[in-house]
Structure 1
């Protein structure tokens, strides 16, 4: 059995891939790179690393960090939902791959799930490509589509990716040399930018229940911005809404409960899970 010395870069979004790597008998997990406390969610990544007593690096890259990684003889660098640019052109690693949640070359970009929900459902899938200095443009090594239900929103697609991505990565690790030998350059394709805030904003004073449910389905745990008659907009990552008659003017925060806020819409009520004041992304 040929053992691989593997470094992993990512936060919790694709951490099912890290879990798979940690369980393989032919992988030595030598390093985990992730975000600093207060940034992207990293609890699961840190727990997996701690269980394996794997060192964890946080924050941005530096010349010293590049030298240190080049000194630990990494065979394979796996990037999956990592928040910093990796200076791949300066790293001495045998292989470097990125796990991407669309069928490349379509859907390059930092957060394509919001587009997959309603705009491009035919592009649901996992692509693993060779890392190059250009974002998401390296040759494709392996990709697999997955089926989705017609009413799947952002969070449901995330769960399918959570299950599907490590299986695709597992196939790659079973014969890394083969997939690199048969890699395919990307031709054409598209780039999907981060959705602008105006597309992720709901004004409770004019919104309907259907508007709220559509926005929540599209953005899910990524969150949308809710404006109420309170002075602060809220970042909403979990919500429920129902059409009903009520006595509140639209836009009013009807109650602040320990399970979240209840907000009046034009034709019903919206409940947010514990609401945070919105911070620009």
Structure 2
């Protein structure tokens, strides 16, 4: 099979898996990343090593025509934020790897909410690309368990590993899976987390606040502390009886703040006064 892949490094293992299964890459697509929480370094490196064309702008009909000229059989999408135009006149197949068990959690990035909502079962889905995001017929799924103390980075790694297992299954059994694909039932759509979703609420119990911290991980939470806005990368929490009002700064040690919550304390251990986006603009 000759294929093109559109995505970034969260799913770079999908590219490697298809190639190692004997599929031939003819072109790669990605987008400009911040190289902090998102990266396409692996995709760019693969293109450079193998002399493949790489496009960092949106896939349009001209790009699809180029794929047709390259005799591309399958367009594989894995972590690509732009909608794919009608591909049917240009390639025989187009599939997407989505980091949830569809039809649950359609949308751009469901991993944080999976942790916030306390899911204990998760997975990756391979489906045919349809006009609506994440709504096409399902070829296959790969499930895995989530821990009670799952964090964003461990979930990302589990998604990567499951994506590779799923890609191997799809690569070796593509024709059969395509022929047997199953339409999706009605599902749910989860929007991209907003700043409100990322904001720590110190009127909530310790466990809830720490779940927010784990769910956001290196994407960072937002904390309003003493009239300032802090972007929190790492925190610790514990249960303890006290008389402090929730949200009060109970202790300061250097750059570490201990904030009271109703049933204990949350310590902000690693934070910045600048957002990730602002720090990316400034540079190292």
TM-score range, shorter chain: 0.7 to 0.9
Distance in structure 2 (CA, Å) of the matches to 1:95 and 1:126: 19
Q: Secondary structure at the match of 1:265?
A: strand
Q: Secondary structure at the match of 2:76?
A: strand
Partner residue in 2 for 1:258: none
Distance in structure 1 (CA, Å) of the matches to 2:72 and 2:173: 17
Distance in structure 1 (CA, Å) of the matches to 2:175 and 2:69: 23
Runs of 5+ consecutive residues of structure 2 not aligned to the other structure: 243-247, 279-284
Matches within 5 A, 1:90-239: 92-119=90-117, 121-202=119-200, 210=207, 212-229=209-226, 231=228, 233-236=229-232, 238-239=233-234
Q: Secondary structure at the match of 2:62?
A: helix
Partner residue in 2 for 1:28: 24
- Kept after mapping to 2: 8 A contact 1:5/1:74: yes
Partner residue of 1:19 out of 16, 26, 30: 16
Runs of 5+ consecutive residues of structure 1 not aligned to the other structure: 256-260
Q: Secondary structure at the match of 1:202?
A: coil
Cα drift, residue 48 of structure 1: 2.6
Larger CA deviation: 271-280 vs 157-166: 271-280
Deviations 1:86-112 (A, max 9, x none): 113465111111011211111111111
Partner residue of 1:8 out of 5, 13, 26: 5
Indicate how the Cα distance of structure 1 residues 269 and 38 shifts in structure 2: closer, same or farther if over 3 A, else same.
Answer: closer
TM-score normalised to the size of structure 1?
A: 0.81
Q: Secondary structure at the match of 2:200?
A: strand
Cα drift, residue 37 of structure 1: 4.8
Larger CA deviation: 52-61 vs 84-93: 84-93
Distance in structure 2 (CA, Å) of the matches to 1:146 and 1:225: 29
Alignment coverage as a number of residue pairs: 265
Partner residue of 1:85 out of 73, 83, 86: 83
- Kept after mapping to 1: 8 A contact 2:121/2:145: no
- Kept after mapping to 1: 8 A contact 2:230/2:272: no
- Kept after mapping to 1: 8 A contact 2:97/2:163: yes
Matched, 1:262 2:251: no
Partner residue of 2:62 out of 61, 64, 67: 64
TM-score normalised to the size of structure 2?
A: 0.81
- Superposed CA RMSD in Å reads 2.9
Larger CA deviation: 127-136 vs 38-47: 38-47
- Kept after mapping to 1: 8 A contact 2:230/2:271: no
Indicate how the Cα distance of structure 1 residues 176 and 62 shifts in structure 2: closer, same or farther if over 3 A, else same.
Answer: closer
Cα drift, residue 79 of structure 1: 0.7
